[in-house]
Amino acid sequence: MPLLEIRNLTKVFSSSASALGGRAKGEIRAVDDVSLDIHAGETLGLVGESGSGKSTLGRLILRLIEPTSGTIQLDGRDLLAAGPTEMRRLRRDLQIIFQDPFASLDPRFRVEDVIAEPLIIHGIEREGHDFSRAAQAARTGSALAAGGIPARVSELLRAVGLDESARLRYPHEFSGGQRQRIGIARALALRPRFIVCDEPVSALDVSVGAQIVNLLKQLQRDFGLTYLFISHSMPVVRYLSTRIAVMYRGKLVEVGESQQISQRPSQPYTRSLVEATPQMSF
């Protein structure tokens, strides 16, 4: 049984008439009747040009935005039927790494507080650490007051290749690649099973992006993660993914094994994506 089962998922946005009167009010089908399975332990690469609906689909799966219609099941549990309390619990298994490492971190928080925030919000205990003083930590504004949280923060920093000294610094003191490592550490804090990687290397230069991609592969092996990896770059998706799904104008046009999609695509649009992107080494 797949970890995630997505059936007939659709998201329609209403468009208003422009101030200049050039565009009539209508509907935009950002995601159009998408059905997809994502299996535990795999990386499903989701590729397509800008505006194809990739990021919208990722956010729908996490219920960061609500679908117009369709179903999403996690291990047979209907995510769209889950109430606020149950959905809060389920979010421990569902996390996201955002595209822009400069916009996704609160500049007022030290790194330790950025990474500890999910633990504080959920008030949970992991690996024997005592997070019972999470509320006190939130009030004082420092993760250092929260019992076992500092040990967990240190563990996560090591996992993403950052030094212990990073914990007391602010996001603006780091490079883009380092900031993305901090965002990855935050996504790992609750020991999720499934992570949406929403173009996590598109804002980075090629060499730094390659390091982040290799880090994601290592973390998948170490933590048993399942990824939906969203990108417009076919070489990156081909390197990282077990299977590839191709989106065009809100629809899935092709899904298959990574090698088959990248070497023998059946759809003209997929062939154009393959031919339009240069080869990359990792």
pLDDT at 124: 65
Question: 77-100 pLDDT, tens per residue?
Answer: 999 999 999 999 999 999 999 999
Q: What is the DSSP letter of 278?
A: -
Q: How many Å apart are CA 202 and CA 181, to the nearest integer?
A: 14
Q: Which amino acid is at 23?
A: R
| CA 123 to mean position of chain CA atoms | 22
SS3 128: coil
Tell me the mean pLDDT in the region 208-228: 96
The mean per-residue pLDDT over the stretch 192-217 comes to 94
pLDDT band at 122 (very low <50, low <70, confident <90, very high): confident
The pTM of the full predicted model, rounded to 2 decimals, is 0.87
Q: What average pLDDT score do residues 50-67 get?
A: 96
pLDDT at 19 over 80: no
Average pLDDT, the chain: 87
What is the pLDDT confidence band of residue 256, given thresholds at 50, 70 and 90? Answer: very high
Closest CA relative to residue 168, chosen from 114, 111, 118, 116 = 111
Residue with tokens 């990156």: 236
Which of 141-150, 168-177, 185-194, 259-268 is predicted least confidently? 141-150
pLDDT given at position 130: 40
State the pLDDT at residue 126: 46
Confidence grade of residue 144 (pLDDT, cut at 50, 70, 90): very low
pLDDT given for residue 138 in this prediction? 39
* pLDDT over 60 at 147, yes or no: no
Q: Is the pLDDT of residue 168 over 90?
A: yes
Residue 91, both tokens:
């979010």
In three-state form (DSSP H/G/I as H, E/B as E, the rest C), the secondary structure along 75-111 is: CCEEHHHCCHHHHHHHHHHEEEECCCCCCCCCCCCCH
Q: Which amino acid is at 260?
A: Q
Q: Is residue 140 pLDDT above 60, yes or no?
A: no
Could you tell me which residue, 23 or 146, shows the higher pLDDT? 23
Name the least confident of 125-134, 156-165, 193-202.
Answer: 125-134
Distance CA 94, CA 89 (A): 10
> Could you tell me the strand order of the sheet in which 77-78 lies?
26-38, 4-15, 69-74, 77-78
- Band (pLDDT 50/70/90 cuts) for residue 15 is confident
